Chain A
């Protein structure tokens, strides 16, 4: 089946550091990728949707200058948390959907295994 690879799986860094998380679709072309954030004991919250070759659409309350999303190819999207602070510590999860499926609700979405970000 379709596989989404997310890297790194865990990051621990100092406050003020910028952190980049990669999300790759390994066996399909992902025209749409989604970035979620999950705090402990809470559900996933959608941060942004990115379509290959265009700017990401951010959900309300998500700072686009802080969470930079690049989706430059059909198999790779990156999320950069700029100048991270302890309150940015969370579990970040990417998801991807294949070509031609944006308007088709009859298609599953494939998820990465997540990146646990800890800011000291």
Chain B
């Protein structure tokens, strides 16, 4: 079952900020919120992750709601190279395999308009 919900697609103009939302109303207290993106014909790429506090790195910022039931990935200035599918993921514990795993949903396809 999907643990996160995201819009199917979003558009942004180049060099403008982009806010990609994600709902995860069933998040547990120990779940980290992970964001990955997949450019066309490539494997996924790690973007950012966080637990409670907002996080910043060279790629993006992650704003986490106080109740942790939603989060927003922020790209401060969208470029054409940011056009990708963005996945918001809470890790699943696969007890059979003995590890956490990433279960990908459908993600949000971001289009950047020149």
Contact = CB atoms under 8 A, between A and B. Distances in A.
Given A43-B106, A108-B49, A111-B43, A34 B101 contact: yes
Contact of B43 (A49, A95, A104): A95
Given A43-B104, A102-B100, A108 B34 contact: yes
A106 B48 CA distance: 11
Contact of B99 (A93, A97, A106): A97
Interface of chain B, main secondary structure: loop
B44 A46 contact: no
Given A93-B44, A111-B43, A113-B42, A51 B104 contact: no
A51 B96 CA distance: 12
A116 interface: yes
Given A49-B101, A102-B98, A114 B106 contact: no
Given A43-B106, A108-B49, A57 B94 contact: yes
Contacts of B106: 43
Nearest to B99: A102
Contacts of A51: 97-99
A4 B45 CA distance: 11
A24 to B, nearest CB: 13
B103 interface: yes
Contacts of B32: 105-106
A103 B34 contact: no
In this complex, the interface size class of chain A, counting residues with CB under 8 Å from chain B, is: 20 to 34
Interface in B87-114: 87, 91, 93-94, 96-107
Interface string A1-45: 000101000000000000000000000000010101000000111
5 contacts: A46-B101, A95-B43, A104-B100, A105-B91, A108-B34
Given A57-B98, A102-B100, A105-B91, 4 more contacts: A6-B43, A43-B105, A43-B107, A105-B31
Interface of A: 4, 6, 32, 34, 36, 43-46, 49, 51, 57, 91, 93-95, 97, 102-106, 108-114, 116
